[in-house]
Each structure stands twice: as C-alpha cells, then as structure tokens.
Amino acid sequence: MALQTKTVPALPVRPAPGRRSGASLGWFAAPALVFFVIFAIIPLAGVIFLSFTSWNGLGDITLTGFDSWITALTSPVTANAIWVTVKIMFFSLIVQVPISLLLGVFTAGTQRYRALLAVIYFVPLLLSSAAVAIAYKALLDPNFGVGPGLNLPFLAQDWLGDPDLALFVVVFVIAWQFVPFHTLIYQGGVRQIPASFYEAAQIDGAGRMQQFFHITLPQLKYTMITSSTLMVVGSLAYFDLIFVLTAGGPGYATRLLPLHMYLTGFQANDMGAASALGVILVVVGLGLAVLVQSLGGRNRAASQLEGA
C-alpha cells in the first residue's frame, strides 16, 4: 500500500509512456484470453445451446425449446437442491469467516511457534478433496469408524446417514478443508497493516480488543470481501467432496445444485435439463460474486488507510 501511494502520482507526470505501456499491457492478457475462450466461453455457449435441446448422451440432439428449462425448474428436487445450496453457503460463511479470521490474525504474529502452527494448519489444503472425503467417510462410519473403534458413544452417531446431521457434517468437512486457505488470505491481509497504527493506538491507551475491533477488522475489509466471494462462489462449485462423501444422500439431504446437475446429466442422462441447471449455476455464481463485491461499498477510492 505504502509503495503504491508513491508510484501512482508518478504516472500523470509522463502521460505518453504511460499510454504506450497501457497498450502493450493488453497483449499480456492474450494467452489467458485464448485459454478462457477455449475452455470457458465456448463450453458455456455449448451448454446454453444444449439447454434448449433434449439429449440422452447417446442419441441425436433434438431441439425442444424451453422443455428442458421447464423440467429443470419445476422439479421439486431442483427447489430442494437450491435450498440445500443456500444452507451450505450460509453455514459455510458463518463457520469459516470467524475461524479463518481469528486463525489468520493469530498466525500473522512473528513468534516462531505461530509460524510452525501455520504450517500445520495448512496441511488439509494439500490433500485432494476425494482423499479428504474418503478419509472422513471411514472415520465417521457408524460401525467401523472412530466412535465405535474408541468406544466413544457420542462419536458413534450416524453422521452421514441421518438427513438432519449429514448437512452439518458436510459443512464441517468443507470448513476443515478450506479454512486453511482463507486463513492464509487473512494472514497476508493482517501482515499488510502498518505497525505504526498499533503503536499509535497503544500510545492512546487502546487495549488488545480495542485494537482488534478498531484497527485490524476495518483494515481487513477488502480481504474479507475477497475471501467471502471465494467462499460463496465456491459453495456453488462443491462437487467432488460431497459426491464422494455422501453422493447427495441420504435422500436428497446434501444434494446441492452442482451435484444435482451432475446426477441429472450423468446418472439420469437428461443432458438438456442438466445444461439448464448449469446455466443457472453460472448466472447465480456471477451474480453473487458481483453482489459480494459491491457490498464492499461504492466508494472504492476511499483509502483503507483512512485516519492514518
């Protein structure tokens, strides 16, 4: 931040080179743009097209207008899937934001034991979702898992088989895997807060709690927005973990939208309806991302260093 406030005013002084470098910068985006068009825009167009057709994955693709959309939108399973998605999104936010914020602040300290703990916290992120899911499935097994194995009755619940519990187990496992990532984001954010703020606050007689609520938290505003955007949009993409852990069950208890899309397309072989669901996912995902971003306030130009 401090660096930028120095370099930004330098630009208007020499407008010509600035413009030239702006033009050449555009080319840097070209490789990414090519990949984006090939792997994102073209498949997206294909999915939009498929959503107006009927296709079982084997035979001919026939245009059927809005039939697939009507099938997808009127199905009670879709309504339930949307509700499950909202619940997972909500609970994920509530669980992950405070934990990763506190862990981030904690690990931002320079003490050696904190650095060591930060490395340990990071481990779950290194594991693949499928491996995490298989491990939890084995641990939570009601007959051969940790609970019965160690004779701890309170752990011997039917964690993944009880429709009321399964959703929260899913939220927990998601948090276990992704809290380290968000901790890292917060850790970086906290480390960017100038130490002079805290020194000044100390001189003014602010305690630790006051420092946290009046300096750390406000300074982390944009970090929080970035992290929350990833969490919210991420819950529209949770698939592998839940597919392996519960396969959407028991019943429809953990069948969230992306999983519903997959099962509709590749198990019930209704590619048209699955594509319609895919389009809904893209639109909702983009909408939510924009919404969370705009929550950050209109006045983007306002400095985070306000009051410094």
Q: Which of 268, 295, 297, 307 binds other proteins (CB under 8 A)?
A: 268
- Contact between 116 and 259 under an 8 Å Cβ cutoff? The reply is no
- What phi, psi does 59 have (nearest 5°)? -90, -150
Q: Does 223 bind other proteins (CB under 8 A)?
A: yes
What residues have CB less than 8 Å from 269, skipping those under 6 apart?
56, 57, 58
- Contact between 100 and 231 under an 8 Å Cβ cutoff? The reply is no
Q: Which of 141, 167, 171, 180 binds other proteins (CB under 8 A)?
A: 141
Q: Does 211 bind other proteins (CB under 8 A)?
A: no
Q: How far is the CB of 205 from other proteins (least distance, A)?
A: 30
Q: Does 21 bind other proteins (CB under 8 A)?
A: no
What residues have CB less than 8 Å from 175, skipping those under 6 apart?
92, 95, 96, 99
d(CA 228, CA 234): 9
Q: Does 230 bind other proteins (CB under 8 A)?
A: yes
E-only strand ranges, the chain:
53-54, 62-63
Provide the token pair at 107. 């690990």
Q: Does 40 bind other proteins (CB under 8 A)?
A: yes
Q: How many residues bind other proteins (CB under 8 A)?
A: 68
d(CA 150, CA 79): 40
Q: Does 265 bind other proteins (CB under 8 A)?
A: yes
Q: Looking at beta carbons only, is 99 or 244 nearer to other proteins? A: 244
Site string for other proteins, 1-20 (x = CB under 8 A): x--x---x------------
Q: How far is the CB of 229 from other proteins (least distance, A)?
A: 4
SS3 (DSSP) at 151: coil
Q: Which of 114, 199, 269, 295 binds other proteins (CB under 8 A)?
A: 269
**Residue 54: C-alpha distances to residues 76, 92, 129, 155 (Å):** 20, 35, 32, 47
What residues have CB less than 8 Å from 106, skipping those under 6 apart?
114, 117
- Residues 44-63 contacting other proteins, CB under 8 A: 44, 47, 56-59
Q: For other proteins, which stretch binds (CB under 8 A), given 9-17, 39-47, 89-97, 106-114? A: 39-47
Q: Which of 125, 161, 168, 198 binds other proteins (CB under 8 A)?
A: 161
- What phi, psi does 54 have (nearest 5°)? -120, 125
Residues that bind other proteins (CB under 8 A): 1, 4, 8, 36, 39-40, 43-44, 47, 56-59, 77, 137, 140-144, 158-163, 222-223, 225-226, 229-230, 233-234, 236-237, 239, 246-247, 249-252, 258, 261-263, 265-270, 278, 281-282, 285-286, 288-290, 293, 296, 300-304
